[in-house]
Structure 1
């Protein structure tokens, strides 16, 4: 594995910067067709070397690292036949937004150095967007994905010329950054015109197909089943959760003429109780996250990372057209001193109407925001990723799969439900609704990409089966089309982690974990600290680490 990480970080400087590498914060990278092809070829060569590496007598932790890289590279090999850089403009937009935004969010350098690195990147933006126009293939690019990227590109001028300079305190440096941003903003203006026309010429398909989808599940995620089996599991999980929610809805007091077991209408009624404003929504999320943190300490369910902090803030403007749900940005794990994460509350896009604000507030009602705060903050993403940042194995911090990280966050919701954190029937129903939403995602994502469901059918399914408002359902389905295999990660991962936990507790029955037994949960805490601290591994590797097998 010697030299692999150096090659990878040098070849993907935007990724390296997001991870906190200051050695890579001056460039966006090579987005030419030659650059993409060269990286694909080099990745194939690394896979051949790592596949052939002997493991006899090697430290088991090193073998896990090697197997993690092999899984990542097999995924890249599979995706080489589905070149996103020819299909989706977001490949070119995302690094521009994230590298500039993250730099000022995390502030790992003094302000003059931050501005200098931002100027260097801004100077590269016209060239990156020119490569975007050259590389996109109308026979491969899907109009849906082009329009999705177009919505984000339209936010660029405001982000680059107003939002970004406003992050700089020094007036002279602010003026410098604003001047450097203008040519980049003009390049985005040109790209908006190009994509507007290109969307009318694009005729590609966003559907990945069952064969590639199954390959990613088995070779990259190391699951023991294919897309068809994953779909069946999603259907079964939905049916089981639907029955539990019907039973719980029957216990709720009725404030309308709904049928007793109609949990969809019960959730709609509960959504009438929501924060009155967007800022009040953010404040309630922050307070709930702090309450969840205190609950973890009281019950001894996990060990908190030293110096960790979760900041609860509005979603960045450039993300709002593409995300209608809360999100989390981890501490940069390659920056040793940083344990500060950011929980982004889903404000609507600029130019929103009062009705859109109302819909967003209803979708973050008091019955729902408790489980969401647990998912995003404690002991979900923030706890996991701030704890993982202390892992000495760099490869585990660089490569993570959503089948563990999102699975962990959904498992975290279940964990706190088991210990009584959701204190009333409305919160309990909200917790189950978040879970059945993830079951619906499995059904829809697999059906979409295997050709069994249209976009319109998927939106209707998410509205009818998961009770999403039409605007949110449309944003969700657009995300599934653009990011195949990710949406099923949540419930799939949670169920797998739950089974690993059962096996761990059975193997450690009667033992006492180090560090005392606060709340009687020492062995459970040891499991959490071990499996989550080991990374966000493909689930087969996570099982091996947790059980020592």
Structure 2
């Protein structure tokens, strides 16, 4: 997944940035009108200039009130601050958002350039989403992950990348460490135990110590680079923060966890509203489910055909594999074929090493096959920071649009030390050698790492700030299919089988999310969907149940985005026929940044912006 290691105070967007590109950066004009070309150009230029002013003031104010996210973006004016989730801080954010929404709604979209028409629609959706999350969803009142993300992210974002000299970053970290105890106090004040779900409380109780590990592993080793009063202040801040973390741990263990009585299911009304904001797609909840169910059926059929070929003549083959199988015959054949892939898996301490190797091989393949322009920026495969573990197996963390030339991190979670041999075996069956290749395609090449490298080059920083989760996650899933279709790993049928299994996971995600939060799906039924229908191992499925309980409207982004990417490519390919060039298509699509699929389609096909 593409998971920023820094959830914002109000988790709103995928990426953040500082400046809005001006009208001079825009390359297209609005459709011709009855006015003269000169008059039309002047009108568009004036409208674009007004939009640039409004959007820049919004973004400056937005980041100032979310300083941890601002650091992640590459705007370092507020590196010594943290987000304010007090009642006064929340009201300030809401008042600001409503004022900016009024200004945005007053703009005449028809007079803007095409690119700014897209950006205006994206910006309006975001501001409305902000207000809805603060006033209606109110995650600040029931989700302790919000506070944990700010506390850990406040320090991690300063220390993970060398965007400034170490002494400067240490001074900023000192100031933030001094403020984190107040954030813990806000958490204890704001959270309504009757609304806090038990699983959210338990997760944060496990992650809390990770804040201390950032201090010990990323800050303390560099303390010698400060001297005098700065060093004294740093030492005091570290000591005070460790004490505050310990006190917070006691509150989490003794008060929050035992007192948490909330339901993690957000219900149909909130879910549908959140889904519409998060996806910004014309696809409804029912559309998504219908598509996902049909895709699962089709993909299982393809897997059965592959399974029959790889099992032919093998002792492990089921007795019967007819052309038209029963559900049971199909299940047995696919499971037997997958066992051949599961047999090839890494040692528990070699997963990161294999991810590095797989990323290098995938990069070479992309370049050899001329699938898309490859990045010239570095990527580092790292162990996932402790304070982020427990939600996903891996994520891609790209530098903010303003932090040029810095590393992208492809983070992989280590296998927990307290897992039993059976749990470790389950995990490594799921993340077998071929699956690590598939994971690396998704997170790195040609997935998130490549796509976000392209996105950060797009002149509209606003679009990079408000990158669409469904476009980003959908591209990574689409990239998996592109690699399979191009014959990655020498058309290995077991790799083809694993690729389809991973596609099934994303299809199941789209169903799972709404079935849990709206339909009340039980854990047993969810596990059946994952372990039987889509062939996931117990550890993967158990982790996904936790993730689906902790989040909402994120799991569908993979399949929704993938569907939109496939629909668009099929349409362009049909129009261009023999002239279609996959590299040219991909480079043009990625040149638009990371807009929602509906806008990518309109830009690619030169259709009116709706």
Regarding TM over 0.5, the answer is: yes
Go from structure 1 to structure 2 and tell me whether the alpha carbon gap of 1:526 and 1:237 turns closer, same or farther (over 3 Å shift). same
Is the counterpart of residue 231 in structure 1 residue 289 in structure 2? Answer: yes
Cα distance per residue 1:405-453 (max 9 Å; x no partner): 1001000001111111143111111100100011111111110110330
Is the counterpart of residue 191 in structure 1 residue 248 in structure 2? Answer: yes
Cα distance per residue 1:458-499 (max 9 Å; x no partner): 234323333333333222122112221110111111111111
Distance 2:526 2:235 in 1: 42
Go from structure 1 to structure 2 and tell me whether the alpha carbon gap of 1:233 and 1:106 turns closer, same or farther (over 3 Å shift). same
Distance 1:528 1:147 in 2: 43
| From 436, 440, 456, the counterpart of 1:389 | 456
Map 1:522-541 → 2, pairs under 5 A: 523-541=581-599
Distance 1:213 1:505 in 2: 35
SS at match of 1:342: strand
Please tell me whether the aligned partners of residues 348 and 415 of structure 2 are also in contact (alpha carbons under 8 angstroms): no
Distance 1:21 1:462 in 2: 41
Please name the residue that 1:401 is paired with: 468
Please name the residue that 1:455 is paired with: 523
Map 1:257-336 → 2, pairs under 5 A: 261=330, 262=332, 263-278=334-349, 280-305=350-375, 307-323=376-392, 325-336=393-404
Distance 2:221 2:87 in 1: 35
The alpha-carbon deviation at position 135 of structure 1 amounts to 0.3
Distance 2:315 2:85 in 1: 56
| From 120, 123, 127, the counterpart of 1:69 | 123
The alpha-carbon deviation at position 176 of structure 1 amounts to 7.0
Q: Which has the higher contact order (CA 8 A, sep 6+)?
A: 2
Cα distance per residue 1:22-78 (max 9 Å; x no partner): 212111121212212321232233223212310223211111111111122232343
393-402 vs 374-383, which deviates more?
393-402
Q: Which structure has the greater CA radius of gyration? A: 2
Please tell me whether the aligned partners of residues 277 and 361 of structure 1 are also in contact (alpha carbons under 8 angstroms): yes
228-237 vs 59-68, which deviates more?
228-237
| From 115, 140, 163, the counterpart of 1:85 | 140
Distance 1:362 1:245 in 2: 18
Distance 1:132 1:63 in 2: 39
Please tell me whether the aligned partners of residues 217 and 225 of structure 1 are also in contact (alpha carbons under 8 angstroms): no
Go from structure 1 to structure 2 and tell me whether the alpha carbon gap of 1:219 and 1:171 turns closer, same or farther (over 3 Å shift). closer
Please tell me whether the aligned partners of residues 165 and 177 of structure 1 are also in contact (alpha carbons under 8 angstroms): no
Please tell me whether the aligned partners of residues 301 and 524 of structure 1 are also in contact (alpha carbons under 8 angstroms): yes
Go from structure 1 to structure 2 and tell me whether the alpha carbon gap of 1:533 and 1:455 turns closer, same or farther (over 3 Å shift). farther
Please name the residue that 2:440 is paired with: 373
5+ long unaligned stretches in structure 1: 512-520
Please name the residue that 2:563 is paired with: 495
The alpha-carbon deviation at position 273 of structure 1 amounts to 1.1
What RMSD in Å do the two structures reach over aligned CA positions? 2.4
5+ long unaligned stretches in structure 2: 1-50, 322-329
Cα distance per residue 1:240-281 (max 9 Å; x no partner): 111211221222234636565432343244222111242x32
Distance 1:237 1:96 in 2: 40
Go from structure 1 to structure 2 and tell me whether the alpha carbon gap of 1:178 and 1:383 turns closer, same or farther (over 3 Å shift). farther
SS at match of 2:160: helix
| From 124, 135, 155, the counterpart of 2:210 | 155
Distance 2:220 2:528 in 1: 41
The alpha-carbon deviation at position 163 of structure 1 amounts to 4.9
Map 1:45-194 → 2, pairs under 5 A: 45-79=99-133, 80-166=135-221, 170=225, 177=234, 179-194=236-251
Go from structure 1 to structure 2 and tell me whether the alpha carbon gap of 1:251 and 1:178 turns closer, same or farther (over 3 Å shift). farther
Map 1:9-28 → 2, pairs under 5 A: 9-28=63-82
Distance 2:76 2:122 in 1: 25
Q: How many residues align?
A: 535
Please tell me whether the aligned partners of residues 18 and 99 of structure 1 are also in contact (alpha carbons under 8 angstroms): no
Distance 1:97 1:474 in 2: 25
Distance 2:142 2:417 in 1: 27
Go from structure 1 to structure 2 and tell me whether the alpha carbon gap of 1:23 and 1:56 turns closer, same or farther (over 3 Å shift). same
Is the counterpart of residue 256 in structure 1 residue 313 in structure 2? Answer: no
Distance 2:143 2:271 in 1: 18
Distance 2:514 2:233 in 1: 48
Distance 2:359 2:455 in 1: 19
Map 1:436-475 → 2, pairs under 5 A: 436-475=504-543
Please tell me whether the aligned partners of residues 20 and 334 of structure 1 are also in contact (alpha carbons under 8 angstroms): yes
Please tell me whether the aligned partners of residues 210 and 385 of structure 2 are also in contact (alpha carbons under 8 angstroms): no
- Give runs of ≥4 in structure 1 deviating > 6 Å: 171-176
The alpha-carbon deviation at position 174 of structure 1 amounts to 8.9
The alpha-carbon deviation at position 509 of structure 1 amounts to 4.2
The alpha-carbon deviation at position 237 of structure 1 amounts to 1.6
Distance 1:468 1:275 in 2: 18
The alpha-carbon deviation at position 344 of structure 1 amounts to 1.1
Please tell me whether the aligned partners of residues 152 and 319 of structure 1 are also in contact (alpha carbons under 8 angstroms): yes
Q: Could you state the TM-score of these two structures normalised by the residue count of structure 1?
A: 0.91
